[in-house]
Amino acid sequence: MPRERGEKVVATNRRARHEYAIEKTYEAGLVLTGTEVKSLREGRANLSDGYAYIDGEEAYLDAVHIPEYSQGHWTNHSSKRTRKLLLHKAEIIKLSHAISAGGYTLIPLKLYFSDGRAKVEIAVAKGKREYEKRQTIREREDKREAERAMRSRNRLGD
């Protein structure tokens, strides 16, 4: 059987970009059990409540919901267990310094398979205040209206 190539996205955390200001992103591997991988290959996962943390010299992903594998039996995994992240030691040190600076947190943005291996994209992020969220929405709508006006203006000029 040929080996998988490319990237297959399983789940994205769309709410994260609205709730947080993303500073820097990292790609990390995941330590998973067999039934978790099978469940992910079916495209079932939820990142919305998830977060990552550093404990000692290791990074963990918590509260990410990977539902139980439908055809699993007594070896099935618990759906919201803590999973270890695979990062280089230097990356873990950078992340711990960023978090200890205050106001920053680690959130998962995307869960995907890269060349057949499960990966998660985590971000160092700072929570947005309510007025910052409204301002972001306003800027996006203004940009959309400007593009619409330019498009209609270009059609009239032809």
Give dist(CA 111, CA 120) in Å, integer.
4
Report residue 15 as tokens.
Answer: 């709410």
pLDDT-derived band at 69 (thresholds 50, 70, 90) equals: confident
Average pLDDT, the chain: 90
Report residue 130 as tokens.
Answer: 């309510």
Going by C-alpha positions, the residue among 70, 107, 103 that lies closest to residue 85 is: 107
Is the confidence at residue 1, as pLDDT, over 60? Answer: no
Give dist(CA 52, CA 123) in Å, integer.
9
pLDDT-derived band at 77 (thresholds 50, 70, 90) equals: confident
| Maximum pairwise Cα distance, the chain | 68
Give dist(CA 27, CA 17) in Å, integer.
17
Question: Which amino acid, 76?
Answer: N
Is the confidence at residue 29, as pLDDT, over 70? Answer: yes
Phi, psi at residue 84, to the nearest 5°?
-80, 140
Is the confidence at residue 108, as pLDDT, over 70? Answer: yes
Contact indicator for 7, 80 with CB cutoff of 8 Å: no
